[in-house]
Structure 1
Amino acid sequence: MPEHTFELRRATESDRTYIARLNFLTEVYGDESKPLPPEASNWFPYYVDKWTPEGGAIIAWDGINPAGGVWLNWGTEAEHGFGHVEEGIPELAIAVEGRYKGQGLGTELLEAAAQLARELGAPGISLSVAHDNPRAARLYRHVGFVDVDEHSEHYVLVKRF
């Protein structure tokens, strides 16, 4: 598969629909033939509706085609997602379109998310990864995330700056 040069752009409000698509891809681990888990609709408001452009997101483009993205969710102790570690450390969500997997885009987006979180004053970033998503877990650990918690179905990882 040919290598692509991706253009990374900060997301705006007009990108919310694409962030919803990326959220779908996170729910099915990029396999669009998989059914959504029954609880997916419970988490859509947190991961998509409550996201703000000021909170940060980056969309990767291959020419005119969106190739993937990463967005930050700034949870609180009272309201947070699966990868919450502590207030002030945003949880990221990331997805890459299937045709762009294996081309380094995931790593590029993770590095961009870390830089964005630093610029926004965060001391680190966190995420969750399902036990049955070992490919993603290897990538996260490879780029410096460390395990801080484990639940029945997922790990929580953090990368401190």
Structure 2
Amino acid sequence: MSEDGYSLRVATADDADFLTDMLVAAVNWDPAREAVGRDRVLMDRQTARYVEGWPRPGDLGVVAVEAGGQPVGAAWLRLFSPDDPGYGFVSEDIPELSVGVLPLWRGKGVGRALLTEVAQRAAERGFARICLKTCLRGDR
């Protein structure tokens, strides 16, 4: 447990709904823009692909949980192919990173800890690089 009251664990199939919540948080990163709802995020194939069928073979993720066990943030990696690329597609052997943290937990090092942990686990799996995707909303 960190001094800020959270710990990290591997993301599992049981985390699919929370990863979707974090995808919505990532899409809505800019508070100056009108928020996009969960249904709209999931109806957009380009965005929904980051969580559909979690976990697929090759997926890797970590979840930050508070002392009571409730998830507060997540970072996950997913590979895409040239035939079905993601927003940040570079190569089929470079996974794309998604990160989301609940608003009350931002600014407490959760995102940094998630990124550090998922990068370390990616390196252990043999990934030399990861790519941060960029979510575009209606202005692609």
TM-score range, shorter chain: 0.7 to 0.9
Unaligned 5+ segments in structure 2 are: none
- 8 Å contact from structure 1 (residues 19, 69) kept in 2: yes
Q: Runs (4+) of structure 1 moved beyond 3 Å?
A: 37-40
Structure 1 Cα separation of the partners of residues 87 and 70 of structure 2: 29
What residue is the counterpart of 2:117 in the other structure?
A: 112
Give TM-score, length-normalised by structure 2.
Answer: 0.80
Match of 2:4 in 1: 4
Name which of 98, 103, 108 aligns with 2:108: 103
> Gaps spanning 5+ residues in structure 1: where?
132-151, 154-161
Are the structure 2 counterparts of residues 109 and 8 from structure 1 closer, same or farther at C-alpha, using a change threshold of 3 Å? same
Q: Does 1:49 align with 2:52?
A: yes
Shift in CA distance, 30/21, structure 1 to aligned 2, threshold 3 Å: farther
CA distance in 2, matches of 1:101, 1:30: 13
SS of 2:25's partner is helix
The DSSP-based 3-state class of the residue aligned with 2:113 is helix
1:72 to 73, 77, 91: 77
Match of 1:29 in 2: 29
CA distance in 2, matches of 1:14, 1:127: 24
* SS of corresponding position for 2:82: coil
Which residue identity is paired with 2:18?
Answer: Y
Question: Cα RMSD (Å) of the superposition?
Answer: 2.7
Cα shift at 1:58: 0.5
Other structure's SS at 1:122 match: coil
**8 Å Cα contact 1:19/1:48 also seen in 2:** yes
State the AA in 1 paired with 2:25.
L
**Bigger RCO (CA 8 Å, 6+ sep):** 2
Identity value in percent: 27
Residues 16/97 of structure 1: CA separation in 2 closer, same or farther (3 Å cut): same
| Whole-angstrom CA distance in 1 between matches of 2:127 and 2:75 | 16
- What's the offset of the Cα at 1:126? 0.5
The CA deviation at 1:119 is 1.8
1:47 aligns to what SS in structure 2? coil
Distance 2:35 2:7 in 1: 31
Q: Give the TM-score, by structure 1 length.
A: 0.70
